[in-house]
Structure 1
Amino acid sequence: MSAFNMLVVLGSTASGKTKLAVELARMLNGEIISADSRQVYRGLDIGSGKDLDEYQEIEHHLIDIVEPGYEYNIFDFQKDVINAYEKISHKNKLAIMAGGSALYVDSILKGYRLIEVPENKALRAILATFSHEQLTEKLMQLKPNLHNTTDLIERDRLIRAIEIAEGEQAAKDSINDFPALKPLIFAIKWPREIIRQRITLRLKQRMEQGLIEEVAQLHAQGVSWETLYFYGLEYRFIAQHLQGQLSKNDCFQKLNAAIHQFSKKQDTWLRRLERNGTKIHWLDGDKNTLVQAMAVIAQLNNQR
């Protein structure tokens, strides 16, 4: 019995996650699952940092699986990760998740299955006759261990929380169990000044590779400016430039600063994940991350 059945490679933007994930896949007979909320879209290549050339012969999942405009969400992601994990495991290979979007990664590491609960008009009509106290009591019956007490304050949130709780109960028998994951988690860290340099250099490279042309083409194909804003910083700022709201230089400077801020938020999320009890093995980005990761794996295997 292995000490782990999935590797997870985390780190801020431009930290080298894809490179390490590919190297680990080669060493350990693995396949990669992308945990990036934008790489699922076809045509969002340069801005989302797909770096498809890096994968070479390594099979990868959750990249280029939907058309731009489709509202891919966390429920789709969790279902797709579970399907990919089961396919990879069925081949006796190791799943390596490289990410990515904090909310998406959280949904896997926490190990509980999410379901999408649509609006239930019949239930809402019944709940409309309830007093605030009756609604609170009903929710507490459905979820006695409720942690999010903000749902108890506003009537609309109370009704939605009851709707979700009832939907989850009704679906309990029809959804697959979440796989029994034993993830081994790595996170790549760099000195702040070096990661800043890496972010700026990578943005320059992406601009040279045709980032502006990519966004213009997506819009020409029918993706609205509003949808492009939703696809994250690169697409938002380039869309503003293409609409004449920012000069090319201003666009680069503002986008660069925004990515630096985003990188800090990613670091904060990782530290919070660790404080909340998730075991993270930190790797120094300015040393050989593969050697460091393999040493951790060897130590775990020797302890068994």
Structure 2
Amino acid sequence: MNTYDLITIIGPTASGKTTLACHLAYALDTEIISGDSRQVYRSMDIGTGKDLADYTVNGKQIPYHLIDICEAGEKYNIFEYQHDFHRIYTDLKSKGKTPILCGGSGLYIESVLKGYSLVNVPENKELRKKYEEYSLQELTAILSEYKNLHNTTDVDTAQRAIRAIEIEEYKKQHPLEQNEFPPLNSLIIGVNIDRELRREKISKRLASRLNEGMIEEVQNILNKGVAPEDLIYYGLEYKYVTLYLLKQLSYQEMFSQLEIAIHQFAKRQMTWFRGMEKRGIYIHWLDATLTMETKIKKISELL
């Protein structure tokens, strides 16, 4: 195990990566650092799929980090994530542990694996005002004109697309001080789930989450004073359920459009992971249908 700085477990939504990470952490007596861009927010539990019950394995609570560290409505970014990750990573390494990084936000994961240089981009009110009436399609076209195209994996709202343009425009105008971290030597495990099985699991999970109170969760966040547009910014569940609560979508429209959006998101996640491989990151893929015991054994052999 001393060969690796880190163990990373990735996979598309509904692949079972969190459960695997928790069982592996139990076997190795270590801790998990989340690599999910939305699980950082408090009160956003069902919609982001925190599944905190998974962090108890055989009666033992598995310590986790970078979950529930911000208030819903805030705008946490990758620059902050990189700093927070390395603070926790350094602390765990000092205790002699090999942390497990687990998540599905490709750019967040890759930023720490490869030690990307990032700038902390401030809000550009003039730019936001300029593009506020543009459609998502128009904004995506504008974004694609930039040479260094910002990650579009999570850009499924106009607000996020504007933020991506804001980042690119800032980088173009301000080649200022950058934040640098060293790349990490990580064993990277990808959970590979058959497309049809993934689609089946996503659809069942969506119905389950709605029954478990996802609509009430979003309503409670709105009741706390979080602006609807700030929830819509987070995309997927929070976008479509908010639109339903605003009576802009019927329940059936909300369900079907959200279901399609999650399927598309999972596909984009896999596209990102395949892109990581093309960029020189080696991923050991494990079949999602293997038993937990077999998965742990295979990972242990790689260590």
The alignment's TM-score, normalised by the length of structure 1, stands at: 0.79
Label 1:18 to 1:159 Cα distance change in 2 as closer, same or farther (>3 A).
closer
Work out which of the residue numbers 78, 84, 88 in structure 2 matches 1:84.
88
Cross-structure match for 1:3: 3
Question: Is the CA contact 1:82–1:179 (under 8 Å) kept in the aligned structure 2?
Answer: no
Cross-structure match for 2:191: 188
In the alignment of these two chains, the number of paired residues is 261
Superposed, which structure 2 residues align to 1:103-252 within 5 Å? 103-116=107-120, 150=147, 160-161=170-171, 164-168=174-178, 178-179=181-182, 181-252=184-255
Superposed, which structure 2 residues align to 1:283-294 within 5 Å? 283-289=286-292, 291-294=294-297
Question: Is the CA contact 2:121–2:170 (under 8 Å) kept in the aligned structure 1?
Answer: no
Structure 1 residue 261 corresponds to structure 2 residue 264: yes
Cα offsets for 1:234-277 (capped at 9, x unmatched) = 00000111011111122111111111111111111111111221
Q: Distance in 1 between matches of 2:168 and 2:204?
A: 48
SS in structure 2 at match of 1:8: strand
Q: Distance in 2 between matches of 1:18 and 1:157?
A: 30
Partner AA of 2:44 in structure 1: L
Q: Distance in 2 between matches of 1:50 and 1:287?
A: 22
Cross-structure match for 2:31: 31
Partner AA of 1:47 in structure 2: G
Partner AA of 1:165 in structure 2: P
Shift of residue 3 of structure 1? Answer: 2.0
Shift of residue 288 of structure 1? Answer: 2.1
Partner AA of 1:16 in structure 2: G
Question: Is the CA contact 2:104–2:269 (under 8 Å) kept in the aligned structure 1?
Answer: no
Moved more, 5-14 or 179-188: 179-188
Moved more, 71-80 or 266-275: 266-275
Q: Distance in 2 between matches of 1:76 and 1:202?
A: 30
Q: Distance in 1 between matches of 2:66 and 2:169?
A: 34
Shift of residue 74 of structure 1? Answer: 0.6
Structure 1 residue 276 corresponds to structure 2 residue 286: no
Label 1:179 to 1:243 Cα distance change in 2 as closer, same or farther (>3 A).
same
Question: Is the CA contact 2:231–2:239 (under 8 Å) kept in the aligned structure 1?
Answer: yes
Label 1:237 to 1:109 Cα distance change in 2 as closer, same or farther (>3 A).
same
Q: Distance in 2 between matches of 1:71 and 1:287?
A: 38
Shift of residue 180 of structure 1? Answer: 5.5
Q: CA RMSD in A?
A: 2.4
Unaligned runs of 5+ in 1: 120-147, 169-174
Label 1:282 to 1:290 Cα distance change in 2 as closer, same or farther (>3 A).
farther
Q: Distance in 2 between matches of 1:212 and 1:159?
A: 36
SS in structure 2 at match of 1:150: coil
Question: Is the CA contact 1:23–1:290 (under 8 Å) kept in the aligned structure 2?
Answer: no
Label 1:227 to 1:296 Cα distance change in 2 as closer, same or farther (>3 A).
same
Larger CA Rg, structure 1 vs 2:
1
Partner AA of 1:167 in structure 2: E
Q: Distance in 2 between matches of 1:227 and 1:38?
A: 13
Cα offsets for 1:19-40 (capped at 9, x unmatched) = 0000110111110011111111
Cross-structure match for 1:20: 20
Q: Distance in 2 between matches of 1:264 and 1:166?
A: 35
Partner AA of 1:215 in structure 2: V
Moved more, 193-202 or 104-113: 104-113
Q: Distance in 1 between matches of 2:3 and 2:264?
A: 36
Cα offsets for 1:119-141 (capped at 9, x unmatched) = 9xxxxxxxxxxxxxxxxxxxxxx
Unaligned runs of 5+ in 2: 124-144, 149-165
Label 1:290 to 1:182 Cα distance change in 2 as closer, same or farther (>3 A).
farther
Label 1:293 to 1:279 Cα distance change in 2 as closer, same or farther (>3 A).
farther
Q: Distance in 1 between matches of 2:169 and 2:251?
A: 47
Aligned sequence identity (%) = 44
